[in-house]
Chains A and B, each alone.
Chain A
Amino acid sequence: MTAALLVMIGLGLLLGLVLGVAALKFKVEGDPLIEQIDAILPQTQCGQCGYPGCKPYATAIAGGEADINQCPPGGEAGVKMLADLLGVEPKPLNAEHGVPKPKSVAVIDENTCIGCTLCIQACPVDAILGAAKQMHTIIAAECTGCELCLAPCPVDCITMEPLGEDIAHWKWRYPVVPLKVIPIQVAA
């Protein structure tokens, strides 16, 4: 009886020790849910969701403060992926936060730019190159199209230009039934 009791207590202590060590050793840094949500968000860093970037929005969703339909650049597809991840019903995008637009990049009119560096400070991904009283230019490959540089520009020299299609980025279309116009033979 005593032996059995001691064995059980001993086992309990041993397993408790193993679990305790494992909990310390394999501790997960940060909230994995935030990372998963952040991985779905488009990383435009535009702030249209009402948070100062994608990571803060992801944190807010994980904390239950924000809804999943506040990201226009992610579109309906993004909302659906978030709904799948979080196990909730997908819902249409909230129009209050804007509407999805075609992917664009900012373009600086270099003749008008006065070199004030305000846009450089606004760019969330450091995609604008320039210095005080020097002409600024956008690194198009790094621009996320967030439009945050438009408002601070004192001379309105930045415009958003939609990305056109070129051979390198062309996509095959979804197959549709081809239609051909056949002229009607009118009987004489």
Chain B
Amino acid sequence: MSLNLGQIFKFAGGVHPPEHKVESTEQPIRTVPLPKTLVLPLRQHIGHIPKILVKVGDHVLKGQLLAEAHGHVSAAVHASTSGTITAIDEQVIPHPSGLPDLSITLQADGKDEWLKHAPLDYQNMERAELIRRIAESGIVGLGGATFPTHVKLRPDARHPVTTLILNGAECEPYITCDDLLMRERADEIIQGAAIMQRLLGSTECLIGLEDNKPQAVAAMNAAVAKANFNAKVVVVPTLYPSGDSRRLIALLTGKESPAKGRTTEIGVQCFNVATAQTLYRFIAHGETVVSRIVTITGNVARPGNYDALLGTSVRDLLQAAGGIRDNTDDYVMGGPMMGFSLPSVDVPMTKAMNCVIASTPSLFPLAPMEMPCIRCVACADACPVNLQPQELYWYSKSNNLEKADEYQLFDCIECGCCSYVCPSHIPLVQYYRYAKSETIAQDRAKQAADQARIRNEERLERIEREKQERAKKHAERTAKAETAGDDNEKKAAIEAAMARAKAQKETVIPQNTEAVSPTVAAEIASVDAARAKAAEKTE
């Protein structure tokens, strides 16, 4: 088999941890049986939380819009199967915090009945209209970053995209969902790429894969030849983190992406292969995002890749993979380099979930004790972003956040290469994550303080203004009263008012003692007499 290697560039650093990909690539993609209950968190993407359109008790069909994209950067959430909404409340979601977040619970009716859907005639559609429809589809970057795809497909006059890159590198150990997708659904990926190419108006399409996926490379090459689509499959050496979009762009084009800007500034836009395939399913079949492929591996009976509905619990996924084996003590979402431990197996699968590893103490042993930094700078050699991890470590550890920011802490992609090579076993990335979130929290507090200062100043100004206005009004009134005329005029006005009041009093006479029946009149007379008597007595 001859591989079209093309020209490959390089990025700095990188590591090559044990791949562990074979375990989950021996079987084709299998489907997870329809679960009874699905939980759909609203926050499955980067950006604003979508707006809920349904209420508890509603019956919905598969693919029906449950929450629509709200704001500039947001993504929709759809029903993954037909059934009834049983709750809209906070549920634990797959997040390192283990905190609950607003979710929609769907009780499946077992029919899995699709909402009526039709393909989109995208060739004859206005571009803006097509982007709007894609915004309703719920498609987000399925490589793990979950950035809403329609935002990346919007035309930008300032930075035209010339090169479209599909990311099939999948560099993180254990994860094989993109590999299997490319093997089995290469045609759909290429069709999706063609749609993206048309939307972006790019002239070149590169598909980057690591050289540890020969079957996927062959399948993709065959699909490109069959589709007669002007794309080039480029095989890059296996080196973590070549799957990071900016690293892959550097590998394929030799161009460095701006650290504080977007990749479109160098004319490149990058999508995951699964995103392209999902876009194809939406355009060509009208199917919104209701499922994804997830790698279930590690200490399970049948490791492999599973096509599961969004909202399926991790417990059900593990069950579908033959159940966990003895000694499983943890569940890692994502790979061993960038993943995190799930708070529980009763969390739902989201659009970001590409892999779950059932781990054992022997699979991922507890990190050895953190030892002092010996200034070997192995971390700086491994850093793919050309940062100085050892400096960042000192500043993060000592809470010197300003200095850490000066050393470009926020350019760190948290790939974990530095921690991986550190001979002192320092959890470097954890320090950077801590420093990043602390900096963000401080910036937020600063913004809130500035806002409070402005509001306080405006309030004081308003009080002062109102005081002056009142004083002015008062002064005007007294001035008016003084100039109104002499005492006689005033006296006349008072007398006239008194006369008016008197006249009014006279016209108003009690009504209930007149025109009464003789008995009532007698009663009144007797009471009056009694009153007179009482008055005499007291005198």
Contacts and interface: CB of A to CB of B under 8 A. Distances in A.
B101 interface: yes
Contact of A42 (B370, B434, B449): B449
Contacts of A43: 448-450, 452-453, 456
B198 to A, nearest CB: 36
A53 B456 contact: yes
A166 interface: yes
B99 A178 contact: no
Interface stretch (B174-182, B296-304, B425-433): B425-433
A173 interface: yes
Given A165-B99, A175-B434, A178-B367, A142 B451 contact: yes
A142 B456 CA distance: 11
A142 B444 CA distance: 13
Given A175-B427, A178-B367, A54 B437 contact: no
Interface in B97-152: 97, 99, 101
A173 B435 CA distance: 9
B532 interface: no
A124 B436 contact: no
Nearest to A178: B366
A30 to B, nearest CB: 13
B308 interface: no
Contacts of A174: 434
A142 B534 CA distance: 69
A167 B459 contact: no
A26 interface: no
Given A167-B93, A167-B101, A172 B366 contact: no
Interface size class of A (residues with CB under 8 A): 20 to 34
Interface in B451-474: 451-453, 455-459
B439 to A, nearest CB: 10
Given A142-B451, A167-B99, A170-B99, A45 B434 contact: no
B26 interface: no
Contacts of A177: 369-370
B438 interface: yes
A125 B452 contact: yes
A167 to B, nearest CB: 5
Contacts of B436: 172
Given A45-B456, A172-B436, A167 B95 contact: yes
Interface hub of B367, B441, B448 (most chain A Cβ within 10 A): B448
B427 A166 contact: no
B431 A175 contact: yes
Contact of A144 (B430, B437, B452, B459): B452
B246 interface: no
Interface in B166-220: none
A38 B455 contact: no
Given A42-B449, A167-B43, A167-B101, A172 B434 contact: yes
A172 B97 CA distance: 8
A55 B449 CA distance: 12
> Mostly helix, strand, loop or mixed at chain A's interface?
loop
Contacts of B440: 171
Best-surrounded residue of B96, B436, B455, B456 (most CB of chain A within 10 A): B456
A44 B441 contact: no
A25 interface: no
Most chain A beta carbons < 10 A, residue from B96, B366, B455: B455
A156 interface: no
A180 to B, nearest CB: 6
Given A45-B456, A124-B456, A167 B369 contact: no
Interface in A31-76: 38, 41-45, 53-55
A109 interface: no
Contacts of A178: 366-367
Contact of A171 (B93, B370, B438, B449): B438
Contact of B455 (A41, A127, A171, A175): A127
Nearest to B463: A121
Nearest to A45: B456
Contacts of B427: 175
B459 A54 contact: no
Contacts of A175: 370, 427, 430-431, 434
A89 to B, nearest CB: 20
Contact of B366 (A144, A170, A180): A180
Interface in A120-149: 124-127, 142, 144
A38 B453 contact: yes
Interface in A150-172: 165-167, 169-172
A38 to B, nearest CB: 7
Contacts of B448: 43, 144
Contacts of B96: 172
Nearest to A164: B99
A160 B31 CA distance: 51
A158 to B, nearest CB: 18
Contacts of A169: 441, 444
Contacts of A126: 455, 458-459
A129 to B, nearest CB: 13
A95 B441 CA distance: 26
B429 to A, nearest CB: 9
A125 B457 CA distance: 8
Contact of B452 (A45, A170, A171): A45
A76 B43 CA distance: 36
A45 B456 CA distance: 8
Contact of A170 (B97, B456, B458, B459): B97
Contacts of B437: 170-172
A169 B452 CA distance: 19
Interface string A95-113: 0000000000000000000
Closest 5 CB pairs of A and B: A43-B449, A172-B433, A43-B452, A175-B430, A171-B437
Interface of A: 38, 41-45, 53-55, 124-127, 142, 144, 165-167, 169-175, 177-178, 180
17 contacts: A42-B449, A45-B456, A54-B453, A124-B459, A125-B452, A142-B452, A165-B97, A165-B99, A167-B43, A167-B99, A169-B444, A170-B437, A171-B438, A172-B434, A172-B436, A175-B431, A177-B370
Given A125-B455, A125-B456, A178-B366, 19 more contacts: A43-B453, A44-B452, A45-B456, A55-B453, A55-B457, A124-B456, A124-B459, A125-B459, A126-B458, A142-B452, A142-B455, A166-B101, A167-B93, A169-B444, A170-B97, A170-B99, A171-B440, A172-B430, A172-B433
